[in-house]
Structure 1
Amino acid sequence: MANHNAKPWQHTHQFVRLNTDGERNTRYVLYLTLVTMVAEIVAGTVYGSMALLADGWHMGTHAAAFMITLFAYYYARKYADDPKYAFGTGKVGVLGGFTSAIALGLVALLMVVESVSRLLNPEQIHFNEAIFVALIGLTVNVISAFLLKDHHSHDHHGHNHHHGHQHTHHIDEHEHQASKHHHGEGQSKAHDHNLRAAYFHVMADALTSLLAIGALLFAKFLGWQWLDPAMGIVGAVIISFWAWGLVKQTAPILLDASIDEAYLQQMVDAVEQEEQHRVSDIHVWPVSANHHAAMVSIVSPHPKEVEYFRQKLASFKRIDHLTIEVFTLAESHSLAGGTDGHGH
């Protein structure tokens, strides 16, 4: 639910990129997949074709993946303004992508098991039917791939804002002078891991169909029946690499992994250009696939206003939500030798 009681000086913390084109086209792909699945299962049952039945149920696994994608879009949109989520629902799409990547990995594992089983225990192949089914699958997935490719998202709130608040209190030997929030501007590229996962599912199926067609043609005309299950293993390896790549992209975001060390050090250097100012603590982490939040604690014997430090960090456009704390260093402490920019 939206926070309708927000005061004029307050702001939301929502970092959601809505991809309406991607969501709409994923729904089209789901419909196309379901129609193909039902048609193949019915035809396989009526004509007694195991190839058609197998591919029909295989289509069902991809339909389930597309449902995950659509549910993630729906959930992120529905709860985008719910104050229960500290930084909004920007990670829901990332979670959808991670889940689909795991499902893709399981599909690859099942492909390996089935292919090894057929290598050890060859089965009779009905070449014409199998090639026909593979062509249907390839056609459906090529259309789906075009629908899911290159759809860019946009910010939930449309544009960025600058807001802030200040307060003062004492903690031990430090004077907590101020806290400032800042929404940064600009993102170099929008990432929609949710849509990317759906795209990988159709690409995986298209690759499987393409390899199968080639293997079946060689088996039919040259008698190389071992090539069909062998290509299944090759396809599974390639799909596993895609799944692992998607896991590596999404897992750090879900686990609040820090931004790269070089960028972090540049922020520290920007603050510590003057010897009297030192960064005592700094954290920068993703709050969505495309947004970062930062908390910076600064100590100084003669501290400046928060706005001064905000201006120093204004050029770091990857930071969308910035909180700055400025502490007065007690006389018993010294900045000689510098303060570790990554202290806690």
Structure 2
Amino acid sequence: MSDFEDSAFGAGHDHIFLGAAHEDNERRTWMVIALCSAMMVIEIVGGGLFGSLALVADGLHMSTHAGAMLIAALAYTYARRHAADRRFVFGTGKLGDLAGFTSAIVLAMIALLIAYEAISRFFSPVPIHFSQAIPIAALGLLVNLASVWLLSGDHHGHSHGHSHGHNHSHGHEQGHEGETHRIVGSAGAFVLSVFEDGVPPVFRIAPETASMTLQANAVSVTTIRPDGARQVFMFADRDGYLESKEDIPEPHAFRAIVHLPDGEYQIEFEEHEHDHDDAQAAANRDHNIRSAYVHVIADAAVSVLAIIGLLLARAFGWVWMDPLAGVIGALVIANWSWGLMRDTGGILLDMNPDKRMAEHVRHVIEDNGDAVLDLHVWRVGPGHMSAIVSVATDDAQRSPSFYRTAIKRFKGLSHVTVEVNPTLAAR
């Protein structure tokens, strides 16, 4: 007999999983489209009036630029307007990733076209009208820089749902450990640290050498706050280290008494600056605005390379510099396109961008003495993760709401479905 319970943390049952900066990013993208469209009209009309084929050609290129931005803008608008549409089982949060994947394909096609044109010019050079080409390239660069500015900030590659998925790290250590202390006793040397990686902070104790071991039931930590408040932390065995079962409340400024088999050790912890975790940033990233940003950055890079190539070709007669700049630009765009395609494709296929989240959910359930039969964690929108977990328990009193409360501690986990399977001992 199985019990099911479906719950949505922070989003309710309306399944709205849009990024925290969704409307702001939508507005920025439409502004870029307006800028590119205005420049497109000016170049095409000006080229027609003054008989400049190069100006008309750049205006047509600007139209493709605006078209690529239109993909991102329409995705934002559609996702917002249909966010509460129940036909979308898990909301419209992934629409931005679909738009980003589409833009990545467009970028790849642009890279191929640029590379083809550049290579053909190596074998069949064409005359270059420097007096027209250089100013147009410079004008295109200015438009791209303005577009970059409009899309800039934390929107293109960093976290988009700060209220949904903050993660902090204390101290200046690399990796995911915060403030670290070394304990040397008769049993050997151990490292005690505050660990935060997509979960509330916990203590971790690890031996410095693989030959050393610690039993979880023989270790505890007592924290003493400046106001005299005490809290005892018990530990659970992990793979090669021990981890506290209880969370460490903020702030992380206290005296810790570490109880080891060979005695007690006192350590002072101080509060430090907070840094973002890379895995959380990946889970929160808005790939739609990222695709728009990559597009304008790629266009700006091509403009810079074109200007350099044209200037060198005019100054030294190196006509081959212009197509060489094109090949380099094509390679840069292709690399960015691949990275965007890889990240968005993984999300569209429900690949978990934050594998540690699944590990933390599993640990919380197993620390309660239960077994995880099946567990799936995936992203349903920027800053929103979903999980399906099947649990086997010997305790007949544990309902799905019991596990919901335990899992709710994880920031960014917005939607959870729990299946409880009582064992024979619990029936």
Partner of 1:12: 14
Q: How far is 1:210 from its partner?
A: 0.8
Q: 1:251 aligns with which of 338, 342, 345?
A: 345
1:281 corresponds to which residue? 374
**Which of 89, 112, 115 does residue 115 from structure 2 map onto?**
112
Q: Which amino acid aligns with 1:292?
A: M
* Range 258-267 or range 292-301, more displaced: 258-267
Counterpart Cα distance in 2 of 1:216 and 1:154 = 39
- Unaligned ranges ≥5, structure 1: 1-9, 161-186, 334-344
Partner amino acid for 1:299?
A: A
2:414 aligned counterpart, secondary structure: strand
Instruction: Give me the whole-angstrom Cα distance separating, in 2, the residues matched to 1:266 and 1:321.
Output: 16
State the partner residue of 1:338. Answer: none
User: SS in structure 1 opposite 2:91?
Assistant: coil
Q: 1:16 to 1:66 in 2, by over 3 A?
A: same
Distance 1:59 1:140 in 2: 10
Q: Which aligned pairs between 1:1-344 and structure 2 lie closer than 5 A?
A: 11-17=13-19, 19-150=22-153, 189=281, 190-275=284-369, 277-303=370-396, 304-330=398-424
CA RMSD of aligned residues (A): 2.5
CA offsets, 1:107-155, max 9 Å, x none?
A: 1111001101111100000111100100110111111110111265977
Q: What SS does structure 2 have at the residue aligned with 1:11?
A: helix
* 8 A contact 1:22–1:151 mirrored in 2: no
Cα displacement string for residues 163-182 of structure 1 (whole angstroms, at most 9, x for unaligned residues): xxxxxxxxxxxxxxxxxxxx
Deviation string 1:64-99 (CA, Å, 9 cap, x unpaired) is 111111110110111111111112111111111111
Deviation at 1:102, TM superposition (A): 1.0
CA contact (8 A) 1:15 1:88 kept: yes
CA deviation vs aligned residue, 1:249-276 (integer Å, no higher than 9, x gap)? 211111111354443233222211244x
CA contact (8 A) 2:374 2:391 kept: yes
- Partner of 2:58: helix, strand, or coil? helix
Return the offset for 1:325. 1.5
Distance 2:368 2:29 in 1: 52
**Contact 2:160 2:382 (C-alpha < 8 Å) held by counterparts:** no
TM-score for the superposition, normalised by structure 2 = 0.65
State the AA in 2 paired with 1:84: R
Change (3 A) 1:154 1:245: closer
Relative to structure 1, the CA distance from residue 270 to residue 191 in structure 2 (aligned partners, 3 Å threshold; closer, same or farther) is same
Q: Unpaired runs of 5+ in structure 2? A: 1-11, 166-276
| Structure 2 Cα separation of the partners of residues 192 and 13 of structure 1 | 18
Residue identity in the other structure for 1:326: V
Q: CA deviation at 1:292?
A: 0.9
Question: Counterparts of 1:259 and 1:159 in 2: how far apart (Å)?
Answer: 15
Cα deviation, residue 42, structure 1: 2.5
Q: SS where residue 90 of structure 1 aligns?
A: coil
Would you say how many aligned residue pairs link Structure 1 and Structure 2?
Answer: 295
Alignment check: 8 A CA contact 2:393 2:426 kept: no
Counterpart AA for 1:119: F
Alpha-carbon offset, residue 50 of structure 1: 3.1
Counterparts of 1:301 and 1:216 in 2: how far apart (Å)? 75
Q: Give the Cα separation in 2 of the matches to 1:216 and 1:16.
A: 44
Structure 1 residues 282, 235: closer, same or farther in 2, change over 3 A? Answer: same
The residue identity in structure 1 corresponding to 2:29 is T
| Equivalent-residue separation in structure 2 for 1:52 and 1:82 (angstroms) | 45
Shift of 1:299: 0.9
Could you tell me how far apart the structure 1 residues matched to 2:356 and 2:287 are? 25
Match in the other structure for 2:204: none
Question: Residue type matched to 1:12 in 2?
Answer: D
Q: Cα distance, 1:59 vs. partner?
A: 0.8
Alignment CA distance shift 1:123-1:259 (3 Å): closer
